A and B are shown apart, each in its own frame.
Chain A
């Protein structure tokens, strides 16, 4: 087995070569955004350069100017809110649990969804440094935190040609569960 593919932000067309199931180590900068931050960006505009940017679905615990704990939140809550970010050049989303078919279609030919292991807040923060914040008035969990990454271990959940390992696992579960009906 080959090692993880190393990527650094801002991301470009290299993401189009990634395939669902590939392991990735991401370095560079990510911007956290949950429900409230998405709503604010739709109204007030994106406060960072979206070209090649990566969004992390995460409500971190920040303390003493450091990232204390920063595991992923459930991405599916943002299923209908990512279109404008992809249109402006965002290349990847990081989160847990996968995303719906709307995002899968929007990512086609443009970007990827990267899964980070749920509950691994301590591991995440050990790969992170705090660089700044936008929309701090939204509160700690909902603000857009600028976070520096050093080789965060991820897996490609949805690629730019429509492969989706979450959907594949769900189809398998569906088949198995049908035996009870």
Chain B
């Protein structure tokens, strides 16, 4: 069966957003990297920034992925009132992901968690991970999530009296991660909601602009950078580029906190479906 024009357009938009995301970083992320590079005082760290900036330039020039780990597909979709919310939307997004895997090309990263059998097209068994919200337009955001940083992420169920332990938990997460998540990192923090909800918030926080940190975010940001892990764990002023916090209401007896670590390549792109 041939897909109708709307779902074909959604598949095309997913493909375009995925390609854009793996090749070009969002402008706010580019500015944050540029500013951190200019302010860095450690000579080795400055060399790492030089490589990162050159890499960004070459990826853009040649239209090739910034990193060979092109991640797993995390997708955020807004659906306007006149578009029926059906399985067809999910199928269209999966088609876009399969096309991107073949044509960009992307590394096939999605495997069965136990047999480790690779599906070879970055879809299947619940992938892509799709988060849907009502909106004014039909718009698809792709956030390709690499494993190095994702693997260093953590969740904690703190006590309601441990509000002042949140900073420690974030700093500890970055400390334990060390060089492994390819710092300088962007840190998504989900506070509140439920056990699973906090993790979802932490990931969604990565989509927020990195250059509009609140006072609270800046405090945690400063604390993380005092660690001195530096770019790639070689030491330096820049361990993190931003801390982004998202909150949700939670049970009076709970304080869920989740930290989602993202490498310097905070890749995401949004494409609105033309109708």
Instruction: Determine if B66 is an interface residue (Cβ-Cβ < 8 Å).
Output: yes
Q: A170 and B64: CB pair below 8 A?
A: no
Instruction: Determine if A48 is an interface residue (Cβ-Cβ < 8 Å).
Output: no
The smallest beta-carbon distance between A137 and chain B, in angstroms, is 16
Q: Which chain B positions have C-beta within 8 A of A98?
A: 179, 233
Scan residues 227-275 of chain B and give those whose CB is less than 8 A from a CB of chain A. Answer: 227-236, 263-265
A23, A59, A166: the one contacting B233 at CB < 8 Å is A166
Q: A21 and B54: CB pair below 8 A?
A: no
Asked, given contacts A169-B233, A169-B235, A172-B235, whether A121 binds B47 with beta carbons under 8 Å apart, the answer is no
Q: B107 and A61: CB pair below 8 A?
A: yes
Q: B172 and A180: CB pair below 8 A?
A: yes
The smallest beta-carbon distance between A174 and chain B, in angstroms, is 8
Q: Which chain A positions have C-beta within 8 A of B263?
A: 118-119
Measured in the bound complex, the distance between the Cα atoms of B179 and A119 in whole Å is: 12
Chain B residue total in the interface (Cβ 8 A): 43
Scan residues 207-236 of chain B and give those whose CB is less than 8 A from a CB of chain A. Answer: 226-236
Measured in the bound complex, the distance between the Cα atoms of B265 and A1 in whole Å is: 29
Q: Which chain A positions have C-beta within 8 A of B182?
A: 96, 118-119
Measured in the bound complex, the distance between the Cα atoms of B66 and A117 in whole Å is: 12
Asked, given contacts A74-B180, A97-B180, whether A120 binds B233 with beta carbons under 8 Å apart, the answer is no
Query: Helix, strand, loop or mixed for chain A's interface?
Result: mixed
Q: B235 and A123: CB pair below 8 A?
A: no
The smallest beta-carbon distance between B43 and chain A, in angstroms, is 7
Instruction: Determine if B34 is an interface residue (Cβ-Cβ < 8 Å).
Output: no
B43, B172, B232: the one contacting A117 at CB < 8 Å is B232
Instruction: Determine if A111 is an interface residue (Cβ-Cβ < 8 Å).
Output: no
Nearest-neighbor residue (CB-CB) of B175 within chain A = A177
A96, A155, A180: the one contacting B171 at CB < 8 Å is A180
Q: B51 and A117: CB pair below 8 A?
A: yes
Q: B47 and A153: CB pair below 8 A?
A: yes
Instruction: Determine if B55 is an interface residue (Cβ-Cβ < 8 Å).
Output: yes
Asked, given contacts A63-B105, A69-B67, whether A173 binds B175 with beta carbons under 8 Å apart, the answer is yes
Q: B64 and A69: CB pair below 8 A?
A: yes
Instruction: Determine if B159 is an interface residue (Cβ-Cβ < 8 Å).
Output: no
Instruction: Determine if B62 is an interface residue (Cβ-Cβ < 8 Å).
Output: yes
Instruction: Determine if A52 is an interface residue (Cβ-Cβ < 8 Å).
Output: no
Measured in the bound complex, the distance between the Cα atoms of B105 and A126 in whole Å is: 17
Q: Which chain A positions have C-beta within 8 A of B105?
A: 61, 63, 68
- Sorted from nearest, which 6 A-B pairs have the closest CB atoms? A169-B235, A118-B182, A123-B55, A117-B51, A69-B68, A97-B179
Q: Which residues of B contact A (CB under 8 A)?
A: 43-44, 47-48, 50-52, 54-55, 58-59, 62, 64-69, 105, 107, 148, 168, 171-172, 175, 178-180, 182, 226-236, 263-265
Instruction: Supply 12 A–B pairs (Cβ within 8 Å), ascending by A.
Output: A71-B67, A74-B148, A118-B148, A118-B263, A119-B265, A122-B64, A123-B51, A155-B48, A155-B234, A166-B179, A177-B227, A180-B171
